């Protein structure tokens, strides 16, 4: 049986995915393999601040992972995504 803690984590992940801008960000990263905030913001025509906020939320629920290279951070899809999230992302 799933514990309450696991339900909370699942709820946070579902809420993170329930936003068209975050889905668009995931789609860009999926297409490119990895992207910086600036590249994503430019592609989606969003402000850097808005893009960064969405990315931080996706990172907090472990959908995205970060790789710091000098002054830039590159984001990619997490290697350990739950199956249901992988299935959603594969449809993007």
Q: Kindly report, residue by residue over 15-31, the tens digit of the pLDDT.
A: 999 999 999 999 999 99
- Selected from 1.10.3720.10, 1.10.10.10, 1.20.1250.20, 1.10.340.70, the CATH number assigned to the domain covering 14-90 reads 1.10.10.10
Q: Tell how far CA 59 is from the center of its chain.
A: 6
Each domain of the chain, given as residue ranges in start order, spans: 14-90
Distance CA 52, CA 14 (A): 19
Position 1 scores a pLDDT of 63
Return the percentage of the chain with pLDDT > 70, whole number.
98
Beta-bridge partner residues of 65: 76
């Amino acid at each position: 049986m799933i514990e309450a803690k696991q339900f909370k984590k699942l709820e946070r992940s579902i809420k993170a995915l329930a936003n068209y801008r975050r889905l668009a960000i995931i789609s860009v990263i999926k297409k490119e393999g990895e992207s910086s905030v600036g590249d994503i913001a430019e592609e989606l025509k969003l402000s850097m601040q808005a893009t960064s906020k969405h990315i931080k939320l996706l990172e907090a629920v472990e959908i995205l992972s970060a790789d710091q290279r000098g002054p830039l951070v590159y984001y990619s899809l997490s290697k350990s995504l739950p199956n249901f999230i992988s299935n959603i992302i594969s449809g993007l």
